Amino acid sequence: MKVLETLRHIGPFVRPYRLRLAGGIGAFGLSRVFEALVPFLLAMGINRLSEGNHDLLLPVAGIFGAVVCRYIVVTYARYSVRKVGQFAAYDLRRALYAALQKQGIHFFNNHSIGDMMTRAVADIGLIQRFIAMGTILIIILIYAPLVGFSFMLYLSPELTLLLIPPLPFVFMYAQRSAREMGITSEAMQERLSDLGTHVQENLSGIRTIQAMAQEDHEIKRFANTNQKYADAFYDQARVNSLMTSWMPTLAAICTIMILGYGGSLVMNGEMKVGYFVAFFMYVNMIVQPFRVAGFIINLFQRAGVASRRLREVLDLKPEIEDTGIESQTAPIRGEIEIRDLHFRYSNDRHMVLNGIDLKIEAGSIIAIMGKVGSGKSTLLRQLARLLDPEPGHVFIDGRDIREYPLAVLRAQVALVPQDPFLFGEPIHDNLTYDDPVRQVDAIWSAAEAADLTETINSFPERLKTLVGERGVTLSGGQKQRATLARGLIREAPVLLLDDCFSSVDTETEEHILDSLTRLRKDQTTLLVSHRVSTARHADRIVVLDDGRIVESGTHAELLRAGGWYAELERIQREGADAADYEGLVTA
């Protein structure tokens, strides 16, 4: 019952195709009737021969017609049911992908990419297999005994009653095996997720593994993960093997009982030999489910586990709820106000942002500095609602940020993240990711502002150059400049730059900052940096420490104040020992 309850969750994905599915199920039922007619017509022919009647036209023609009709009906039924499985799996993948797109940082911190890949591929594959093959097996479980028993009761009620006593034992054994199969199926799917996660992480970090000569170590770690999956698979195979051994044995016992008692009826003249042959064929029809019971239970249990794992994602509410009202939207000017903002991550007691008060005029450039972990990146994510602030704390143009529809907000508040990510597509597609039909002039203008023009021209195919997975063909600085160009090309009213110059040299940095100041003189820009050479271009510099604003002012004002910023400027200007700098930004 628990499995059936779990499988009910896939109902909404099957319901749009219920007519096609009903047609397939009905066709399968009709095919069973045609199948059952063959033994009956065969019995008619055998009886006629045993009575000396050689007129076999009707039995032969009937059998031929039943076989042809069954072929046509089964072909239609299988096609219909498998199409429903394919359509439902397609809709499931779309729903799962859409659900993942709406989750945020907390979700992906707690769920690995490998696990999500397993759910999207292996688990949905199990659901598709269940709909396509499970429907056929349900027909076997229902129609075969129903049709078979009907014909058997017509031929010999006495022999039919012999099959009833073993049925309760079959049911109890199947129920117990189903419970064990459910446990082993869930364990196997979890281990498969672990295997996918392990492979994904290792291949993503293959350069680090090779650089540190840890290939053998990782092979041993993978062997351990692989062994756990194999052990879970063996446990499920053990339960399935026992089932597939015992069920045919029980079916054979029923067959022996029919053969012994039915044979005596034929010998005593109480039953015609043709009817006995037909009855024996009907016995094979109703014991057919016993022979495949192990496979049926295995399929049901694994599909139930897959359905539960998919619902764990599909039933989650979006981490960032879209509460905005579309009708109230207007172009953003870029005035930002933060009032007493507090924030901490769900798994951390420590306040990452602790009473932030900040007002930023439209069109200004604000630099945000501070030690590692002081809350700089978290603050930028709040402004783009990648992390959700409480109502009444963050305002853009005097309006609570939560009142903007997410799509509208993120179209006008562009965040260039600290970790440069590029898709395995041409440079052109990466730079125009939000709008593939951008004018070429706009692309080159953004590339020039990010000092990426020379890099692009150095490739034979220029903008058509494939950058490889995660931009593997580019250096760290080139990837940073490419992601910066992708942000600049949007010309967003608010641009958030999260430490986007850490991998570029000072000369390149100067060129980018000069372009940034020129191109965005009427637009708001917030940039996070650890470099004074970057921050000094800003209209105002804000220094965070332990989630609080501890310094705020222009470059000259903060130097006169003699605080953390002034000390950082001295270390970087004098080229002091790296340990001094490291201690200042991480302490």
Check residue 148 and give its pLDDT: 78
Check residue 1 and give its pLDDT: 45
Burial of 11 (0-12, 13-18, 19+ CB in 10 A): exposed
Check residue 6 and give its pLDDT: 61
Q: How many helices (H) and strands (E) does the chain have?
A: 25, 10
Segment 488-512 mean pLDDT: 79
Q: Is the pLDDT assigned to residue 326 strictly greater than 80?
A: no
H or E segment and range at residue 524: strand 524-528
Q: Alpha-carbon distance 165 to 184, whole Å?
A: 31
Spatial contact of 162 and 281, defined as CB atoms under 8 Å apart: no
**Token pair in block for residue 430:** 């990466």
Check residue 31 and give its pLDDT: 84
Check residue 245 and give its pLDDT: 67
State CA 41 to chain mean position distance. 53
Closest C-alpha to 148, from 278, 261, 263, 256: 278
pLDDT band at residue 2 using 50, 70 and 90 as cut-offs: low
271 three-class SS: coil
Lowest mean pLDDT among 170-174, 226-230, 339-343, 482-486: 170-174
Backbone φ/ψ region at 356: left (φ over 0), alpha (ψ -120 to 50), beta = beta
Percent of the chain whose pLDDT exceeds 90: 0
pLDDT band at residue 213 using 50, 70 and 90 as cut-offs: low
Q: Is the pLDDT assigned to residue 585 strictly greater than 70?
A: no
Check residue 204 and give its pLDDT: 65
Closest C-alpha to 35, from 285, 290, 293: 285
Q: Cα separations (Å) of 156 from 287, 424, 573, 586?
A: 17, 70, 103, 88
Q: Alpha-carbon distance 293 to 287, whole Å?
A: 10
pLDDT band at residue 188 using 50, 70 and 90 as cut-offs: confident
Domains delineated in the chain:
2-314 (1.20.1560.10), 332-586 (3.40.50.300)
Q: Give the gyration radius of the chain's Cα atoms.
A: 35
pLDDT band at residue 193 using 50, 70 and 90 as cut-offs: confident
End-to-end CA distance of the chain: 58
Spatial contact of 277 and 42, defined as CB atoms under 8 Å apart: yes
Segment 330-347 mean pLDDT: 83
**Residue 235 neighbours by CB distance under 10 Å:** 17
Check residue 14 and give its pLDDT: 84
Q: Alpha-carbon distance 181 to 445, whole Å?
A: 61
Q: CA torsion angle for 421, 424, 429, 430 (degrees, to 10)?
A: 10
Q: Is the pLDDT assigned to residue 485 strictly greater than 80?
A: yes
Spatial contact of 409 and 415, defined as CB atoms under 8 Å apart: no
Q: Alpha-carbon distance 369 to 572, whole Å?
A: 14
Q: Is the pLDDT assigned to residue 464 strictly greater than 50?
A: yes
Closest C-alpha to 421, from 501, 480, 477: 480
Q: What is the rounded average pLDDT for all residues in the chain?
A: 79
pLDDT band at residue 577 using 50, 70 and 90 as cut-offs: low
Instruction: Give the highest mean pLDDT range of 31-35, 291-295, 322-326.
Output: 31-35
Check residue 127 and give its pLDDT: 86
Check residue 126 and give its pLDDT: 83
Check residue 321 and give its pLDDT: 77
HSE of 194, CA atoms in CB hemisphere, 13 A: 17
Q: Alpha-carbon distance 51 to 552, whole Å?
A: 111
Q: Alpha-carbon distance 20 to 77, whole Å?
A: 9
pLDDT band at residue 244 using 50, 70 and 90 as cut-offs: low
Lowest mean pLDDT among 191-200, 231-240, 466-475, 558-567: 466-475
**Tens of pLDDT along 247-258?**
667 667 777 777
Lowest mean pLDDT among 105-109, 245-249, 462-466: 245-249
Q: Is the pLDDT assigned to residue 182 strictly greater than 80?
A: no
Q: Is the pLDDT assigned to residue 141 strictly greater than 70?
A: yes
Lowest mean pLDDT among 236-245, 330-339, 566-575: 236-245
Burial of 565 (0-12, 13-18, 19+ CB in 10 A): buried
Segment 447-462 mean pLDDT: 80
Helical packing angle, 506-519 and 440-449, nearest 10°: 130
The pairing of strands 353-360 and 336-343 is antiparallel
How is 115-150 classified by DSSP, letter by letter?
HHHHIIIIIHHHHHHIIIIIHHHHHHHHHHHHHHHH
Closest C-alpha to 342, from 327, 356, 328: 356
Q: What contacts 296, CB < 8 A, 6 or more positions away? A: 134, 137, 140, 141, 289
Q: Is the pLDDT assigned to residue 205 strictly greater than 70?
A: no
Residue type, 426: P
The pairing of strands 524-528 and 494-498 is parallel
Q: Alpha-carbon distance 177 to 12, whole Å?
A: 29
Q: Which residues make beta-bridge pairs with 367?
A: 527, 541
pLDDT band at residue 378 using 50, 70 and 90 as cut-offs: confident
How long is the chain? 587
Q: Is the pLDDT assigned to residue 569 strictly greater than 70?
A: yes
Q: Is the pLDDT assigned to residue 579 strictly greater than 70?
A: no
**Token pair in block for residue 137:** 């097996």
Q: Alpha-carbon distance 356 to 556, whole Å?
A: 23
Segment 177-187 mean pLDDT: 71
Closest C-alpha to 206, from 196, 190, 219: 219
Three-state SS annotation for 275-332: HHHHHHHHHHHHHHHHHCHHHHHHHHHHHHHHHHHHHHHHCCCCCCCCCCCHHHCCCC
Spatial contact of 279 and 156, defined as CB atoms under 8 Å apart: yes
Instruction: Give the highest mean pLDDT range of 62-66, 234-238, 457-461.
Output: 62-66
Segment 225-254 mean pLDDT: 74
**Tens of pLDDT along 63-82?**
888 889 989 988 888 888 88
Check residue 243 and give its pLDDT: 66
Please list the helix, strand and coil fractions of the chain in percent, rounded to the nearest 5, in that order: 65, 10, 25
pLDDT band at residue 305 using 50, 70 and 90 as cut-offs: confident
**Residue 244 neighbours by CB distance under 10 Å:** 17
Spatial contact of 214 and 130, defined as CB atoms under 8 Å apart: no
Segment 466-471 mean pLDDT: 68
**Token pair in block for residue 455:** 């890099």
